[in-house]
């Protein structure tokens, strides 16, 4: 009896995907649940398993094709008799069946990011010890294995001393050889198809610019008080909570205080209505190999500094490993992005629709500023707030950013908020 392999429903906001790679070939026997094909979506990558045991009798959609949720990718014939996975070439030593099965198992329990890293670093993923859930191989595991295999060998023994040779007679240096002109054949280009996530990011950024009335206002914040507080408490904080005290949690807390004071920044536009939200799900932009992702800290107003820092650290780790789930990325009422970690001094962030506000943080830099009538060097940061002018007035946006400045420059006020 045939069983269809279909694109699963991943979430209400995901309606299509791209076939990244088939893991099995037509005619191979598979067991129920065996990974068959990797799919890319605009938010997460996932593997589709065999719906039943049998033979992969037909592959309908090839690598690189775009597919919709519910479409048939191939067929499993439960009654057919097929072959096992392809054996190695005859010229190579025969590999024990147990070893081959181990390699297949290791590959299936690795994340897509780990597999890609293994290919790039020429690492046998079956030999990598996984540190993820249930022993799953993560990208960091592959990178650690690659570093170990590339450790420098022992230095060779010094050569025996030889009698010095007479210094050759000095000659005039040869005249410089004119540089050979670059030929047209050497001016090469690569044409690389965008990943599903990158293509969706590009599409949504253009949509954001064409649908929202975006405007950006700027301010600067003196980080001296926050940095001094962190210095005083960083060790005790880490000892108590097991995580470092970064600056992100201060800005999450400050943003919540400002959103309470100016609720139209915590809203969205639906037709001719404003949907004002009385909960605070703060998105934190995180860089990943396939593009920027924005996992969301749910009910951030109910969390302490340590809980916020732990969630941000966890998001960054799982973004690098490619293990963020759709639930991590769904929703959000306001976003914070920090270009300062890459050295950005000033930028204008783009809205993350349907949100109407995004706060951009930047590099902390010592600058001369006037303090009580005297010029002092202070650790300053430029902040940028991009907002949707359809429902947020300019004066409201400026006051919102001033509120964040006031809270960050007086961290004790965050406790009162």
Residues that are catalytic: 389, 393
Q: Provide the total of helices (H) and of strands (E) in the chain, helices listed first.
A: 10, 17
Q: Which residue blocks in 12-92 are alpha helix, DSSP H?
A: none
Dist. CA 44–CA 34, nearest whole Å: 20
Strand ranges across the sheet with 2-6:
2-6, 72-77, 54-59, 29-30
d(CA 136, CA 219) in angstroms, rounded, equals 45
What φ, ψ does residue 338 adopt, rounded to 5°?
A: -120, 95
- Match 């010890």 to its residue by tokens: 129
The values of phi and psi at residue 313, to 5°, are -60, -40
Rounded CA-CA distance 181/87 in Å is 50
End-to-end CA distance of the chain: 63
Residue 293, phi then psi, degrees to nearest 5: -125, 155
Map residue 322 onto helix, strand or coil. coil
DSSP at 111: -
Phi and psi of 152, rounded to 5°?
Answer: -65, 140
Q: Which residue has the tokens 């030929």?
A: 183
Instruction: Give the count of alpha carbons within 13 A of 47, CB side only.
Output: 19
Taking the C-alpha atoms of residue 67 and residue 348, their distance in angstroms, rounded to an integer, is: 35
Single out the residue of 121, 108, 119 nearest to residue 150, CA to CA.
121
Residues 6+ apart with CB under 8 A from 77: 1, 2, 54, 55, 57
Helix residue ranges per DSSP H, 171-213: 196-211
């Amino acid at each position: 009896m045939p069983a269809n392999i279909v694109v699963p429903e991943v979430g209400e906001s995901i309606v299509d995907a791209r076939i990244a790679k088939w893991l099995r070939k037509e005619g191979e026997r598979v067991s129920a649940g065996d990974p068959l094909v990797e799919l890319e979506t605009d938010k997460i990558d996932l593997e589709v398993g065999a719906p039943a045991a049998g033979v992969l009798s037909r592959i309908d959609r090839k690598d690189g094709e775009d597919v919709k949720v519910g479409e048939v990718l191939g067929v499993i014939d439960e009654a057919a008799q097929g072959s096992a996975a392809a054996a190695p070439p005859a010229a190579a030593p025969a590999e024990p069946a147990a070893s081959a099965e181990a390699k297949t198992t290791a590959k299936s329990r690795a994340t897509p990011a780990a597999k890609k890293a293994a290919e790039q670093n020429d690492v046998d993923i079956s030999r990598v010890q996984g540190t993820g859930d249930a022993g799953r191989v993560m990208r960091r595991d592959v990178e650690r294995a690659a570093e170990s295999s590339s450790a420098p060998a022992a230095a060779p023994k010094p050569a025996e001393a030889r009698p010095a040779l007479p210094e050759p007679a000095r000659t005039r240096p040869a005249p410089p050889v004119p540089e050979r002109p670059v030929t047209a054949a050497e001016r090469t280009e690569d044409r690389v198809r965008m990943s599903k996530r990158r293509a969706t990011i590009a599409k949504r950024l253009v949509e954001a610019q064409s649908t929202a009335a975006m405007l950006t206002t700027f301010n600067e914040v003196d980080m001296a008080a926050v940095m001094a507080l962190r210095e005083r408490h960083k060790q005790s904080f880490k000892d108590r909570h097991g995580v470092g005290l970064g600056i992100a949690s201060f800005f999450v807390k400050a943003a919540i205080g400002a959103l309470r004071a100016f609720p139209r920044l915590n809203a969205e536009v639906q037709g001719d209505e404003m949907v004002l939200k009385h909960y605070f799900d703060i998105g934190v932009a995180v860089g990943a190999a396939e593009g920027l992702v924005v996992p969301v800290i749910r009910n951030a107003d109910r969390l302490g500094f340590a809980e916020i820092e732990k969630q941000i650290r966890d998001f960054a780790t799982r973004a690098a490993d490619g293990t963020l789930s759709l639930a991590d990325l769904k929703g959000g009422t306001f976003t914070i992005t920090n270009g300062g970690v890459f050295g950005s001094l000033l930028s204008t962030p783009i809205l993350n629709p349907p949100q109407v506000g995004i706060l951009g943080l930047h590099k902390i830099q010592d600058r001369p500023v006037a303090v009580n009538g005297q010029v002092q060097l202070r650790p300053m940061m430029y902040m940028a707030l991009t907002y949707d002018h359809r429902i947020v007035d300019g004066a409201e946006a400026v006051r919102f950013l001033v509120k964040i400045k006031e809270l960050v420059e007086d961290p004790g006020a965050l406790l009162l908020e």
